[in-house]
Structure 1
C-alpha cells in the first residue's frame, strides 16, 4: 500500500512538469509527510478545455453514491487488479483518472521487535513523478461538494519488494496524457497499472519521525544510516 508520501517540488517546478500555467494553479506548499485525509494537489483534465489542471482534493476516495464521507478512511489505495470490478472505484476508472504529484513515498520494514525502519523511494534522477490516481466528486445533503482521490497500487518491483509486497503505480511522463484521457470508458488503460522499472528508482533509510503525521519538514527526506542489514 501507499500510506505516506512527500512532495517537495515547488509549484513552479510542477507547473513546468505538467505543462500548466502557474497562474491557474490553486496555492499549495510542499509537504514532506502527506497522510490520508489530508488535502493534496492532483492533476486532471479540465472538463471544458481538455487541458491539464491542478485541483485540491482529499486523500481517501468518496464515491458519488456514498451515504457519508467516512468511506474515505478505507479507500486511500485501490488495488490495480481489482479496480475495474469494485463498485467503489469502477465508475471513476472509466472517466475520472488523475495524477498525484510526488517526489518520494514511504514504506516501513520490520527491524526486530516492535521497531520498524522507514524508507523513502524516489527517482535516481531526483525528478518528481506521479502516482496513478482516481478522483470523485461527492455532494453531501448540506455543505459544499467534496472532491477526493485514491492512489492505485500494484505488485512491487525488485527494489520495493525488499520492504513491502505492494507499491504505488508510478506512471512514466509519456503515459500521463493517455492515463487522463477519458477515451473509450469501456476500455480504460489498465495496462499502465504495472510496477515502475526498479533501475530508475532509489531507496534510502529516513528518520523515524516520519511515523508521526505532525512532523512535516525537509529533514524527513534526509538519508539516515541503517543500524543493521535489513535487505
Structure 2
C-alpha cells in the first residue's frame, strides 16, 4: 500500500512539470508527510475545457453513490488488479483518472516484532513524479460536494520489494496525457498499471518521526544510517 508520501517541489516546479499555468493553480504548501484524509493537490482534466488543472481533494475515495463519507477511510489505495471490476472504483477508472504529484513515498520495513524502519523512495534524478490516481465527486444531502482521490498500487519493483509487497503506480511523464484522456470507456489504459523501473529510483532510510502524522518538516526526508547487514540490501 501507499499510506504516506512527500511533495516538496514548489508550485512553480509542479506547474512546469505538469503543463499548467501557475496563475491557475490553487495555493498549496509543500508537505513532507501527506497522510490519509488530508487535502492534497491533484491534476485532472477540466470537465468543460479538457485542459489540465490542479484541484484540491481529500485523500480517501468516496464514490458518488456512497451513503456517507466514512468509506473514504478504507479507500486510500486501489489495487490495480481490481479497479476495472470492483464497484468502488470501476466507474472512476473509466471516467475520472488523475495524477497525484509527489517527490517521495514512504514504506516501513519490519525489522522485528517491535521495530519498523521507514524508507523513502524517490527518483535518482531528483525530479518530481506522479502516482496514477482516481477521483470522485460526492454530493451529500444538504451539504457541499466533496472531491476525493485514491492512489493505485501494483506489484513492487526490485527496489521496493525489499521493504514492502506493494508499491504505488508511478507513471512515466510521457504517459500522463494517455492516463487522463477519457476516450473509449471500454478500453482504459490498463497497460500503464505496472511497477516503475527500479533503476530510475533510489531509496534511503529516513527519520522515524515520519510515523507521526503531526510531524511535517524537511528533516523527515533526511537520510539515516543503517546497520551494515541492512546496508547490503540497499
TM range (shorter): over 0.9
Q: Confirm or deny that 1:2 pairs with 2:19.
A: no
Structure-2 residue corresponding to 1:15: 15
TM-superposed deviation, 1:194: 0.2
Q: Confirm or deny that 1:101 pairs with 2:136.
A: no
Alignment of 1:63-142 (within 5 A): 63-142=63-142
Q: Secondary structure at the match of 1:85?
A: coil
How far, CA to CA, are the matches of 1:83 and 1:112 in structure 2? 33
Q: Confirm or deny that 1:222 pairs with 2:222.
A: yes
Structure-2 residue corresponding to 1:37: 37
Structure-2 residue corresponding to 1:143: 143
Query: Which consecutive residues of structure 2, in runs of 5 or more, have no partner in the other structure?
Result: none
Runs ≥4 residues deviating over 2 A: 227-231
TM-superposed deviation, 1:47: 1.1
TM-superposed deviation, 1:6: 0.1
Q: Secondary structure at the match of 1:179?
A: helix
How far, CA to CA, are the matches of 1:229 and 1:84 in structure 2? 41
How far, CA to CA, are the matches of 1:64 and 1:229 in structure 2? 49
How far, CA to CA, are the matches of 1:212 and 1:105 in structure 2? 15
Structure-2 residue corresponding to 1:192: 192
Query: Which consecutive residues of structure 1, in runs of 5 or more, have no partner in the other structure?
Result: none
Aligned length: 231
Query: Deviations along 1:39-61, whole A, 9 cap, x unmatched?
Result: 00000001111111000000000
RMSD: 0.7
TM-superposed deviation, 1:226: 1.0
How far, CA to CA, are the matches of 1:183 and 1:151 in structure 2? 21
How far, CA to CA, are the matches of 1:77 and 1:155 in structure 2? 13
How far, CA to CA, are the matches of 1:28 and 1:138 in structure 2? 22
Query: Deviations along 1:187-219, whole A, 9 cap, x unmatched?
Result: 110110000000000000001100000000000
TM-superposed deviation, 1:18: 0.6
TM-superposed deviation, 1:142: 2.0
Q: Secondary structure at the match of 1:229?
A: helix
Structure-2 residue corresponding to 1:168: 168
